[in-house]
Amino acid sequence: MKKISHISDVPLFQGLPKQQIAALEGIVIPRKYAKGKVVFSDGEDATGFHVVMSGIVKVYKLSPDGKEQILHIFGPGEPFGEAAVFEGRSFPAYAEALEALATWFFPRQAFVALVVKDPSLALNMLADLSRRLRRFTNLIEDLSLKEVPGRLAAHLLYLSEQQADSDAPILDITKGQLASLLGTIPETLSRILARMTRDGLIEAGEGREVRLLDRESLEELARGERRLG
Amino acid sequence: MKKISHISDVPLFQGLPKQQIAALEGIVIPRKYAKGKVVFSDGEDATGFHVVMSGIVKVYKLSPDGKEQILHIFGPGEPFGEAAVFEGRSFPAYAEALEALATWFFPRQAFVALVVKDPSLALNMLADLSRRLRRFTNLIEDLSLKEVPGRLAAHLLYLSEQQADSDAPILDITKGQLASLLGTIPETLSRILARMTRDGLIEAGEGREVRLLDRESLEELARGERRLG
DNA sequence: CGTGCGCTTGACTTTTTTCAATAAAGGTGG
DNA sequence: CCACCTTTATTGAAAAAAGTCAAGCGCACG
């Protein structure tokens, strides 16, 4: 997995004057979490936010009977928990390390003070939150307007865009986690993967590899213009 | 319905120096939309954002086969379309006037220029987007982790908190729109309302009034700790 | 070498949607 | 003020999608 080792490599801090980067370095606190550790909990007091240096973290909601919905999965360079800094005093969800995780932690008050002083940092934060909002809009659209096969198709196509070997993307998480990300359960995901394979849309490759055989149909599925056999 | 007639009454602009309020007044463009008019469309170029002066607007996504999911319903004093200003060049959803609508329109570039100059405006925007994000988090949680009766119960309780006569809130939108807001369809909503009535949780009053008879049970439903008979 | 976790599959249940028909409500023009 | 027409709401029966429960497999890890 890739790593980020300097604050100036964080997209959120891109384009900031050196002085501001130095100020950020002044307030940051490095933290480490073992795989499976909870970084923060839903409702917990938000004293600051994190930026991933290395590892992966999932941010999720839990229902009383234990079902989880993953809201985000973040990797190196990505901030999380930042919305709580400017509003609620509490985190609106859980965060848990999916693998060994190292973060920079930015304390709320000190960070807000920097934002107030630097318009370009403020603009970066605004763009960041706006992007986050747009992603949520898409997640809501998926959950409400698409069936699980459509969500899965969309996700596979998304993965293939992100990755080099675009016709055979590798799942970056377990299938159980993927189910939670898509708003369903492992059994359902497993069945749909099987149906897609039967219909010749995909082929399960080595390990977590999934070969996309029929992009066209996957795209129609993702748009809700077609159903699975 | 209430109205907002001065920019300084907009919560988003609360606490700004007079000078900034004046600057905002300098760039604002009043607009009017008849009931049913589309204010902007999904994917459309975002040249600025709106604040509602009077009336109601719904922001929603559409699936290819016509089902809609309402993301927000905004009334006087509330901004909409503002996330597009700081990021995407395009609106991520549709907006349509549910009744005669008057807005202030803030052009993108001019507004961003003001944000850059005024840290308190920037902070207000950050808080606004953060609040928005938190709401979406809850919507996602509802859609994914709760069944329709739970979402409805939560919404009824929410309405009763907002309104004066708290035991008999009035729906502010049609039931069809409410269904879309809850991520379902009118038939399903109708049936669940009927079941809740049969079970003595609520009572349909005059017009759009819904009397809450058993708060306790509604709260359990909303938390997913109970199911409907 | 066994234990456990992740994954799959089958049978069954529940929830929600779809389709269709009808009833009630609301606004408009005569 | 009323007749008319569109929109909104309700109800039933049937279908579809997803979830639950339970069993079993395979592979990694201790």
Reported confidence tier of residue A106, pLDDT bands at 50, 70, 90: very high
Asked if B53 and B100 count as a contact pair (C-beta separation under 8 A), the reply is no
Distance CA A97, CA A37 (A): 6
Query: Among B169, B214, B166, B171, which residue's Cα sits nearest to residue B190?
Result: B171
Give B93's contacts in chain A (Cβ within 8 Å). Answer: 137
Nearest CA in chain A to B84: A130
Instruction: For A219, list phi and psi in degrees, rounded to 5.
Output: -65, -40
Contact B126 A86 (CB under 8 A): yes
| Mutate which: A58, A126, A142, A226, vs B, most B CBs within 10 A | A126
pLDDT at res. B167? 82
Does the nearest atom of strand C lie within 7 Å of B183's Cβ? yes
**Partners of A101 in the beta sheet?**
A33
pLDDT, one tens digit per residue, over A14-38 is 999 999 999 999 999 999 999 999 9
For the whole prediction, is pTM greater than 0.85? yes
Q: Which of A145-159, B2-16, B133-147 shows the lowest mean pLDDT across its residues?
A: B2-16
Reported confidence tier of residue A1, pLDDT bands at 50, 70, 90: low
Reported confidence tier of residue A105, pLDDT bands at 50, 70, 90: very high
Q: Which stretches of A18-147 are DSSP H helices?
A: 18-27, 83-86, 108-117, 119-145
Distance CA A168, CA B16 (A): 53
Does the nearest atom of strand C lie within 7 Å of A176's Cβ? yes
pLDDT at res. A3? 82
Q: Which chain C positions come under 7 Å from a protein C-beta?
A: 6-11, 15-20, 26
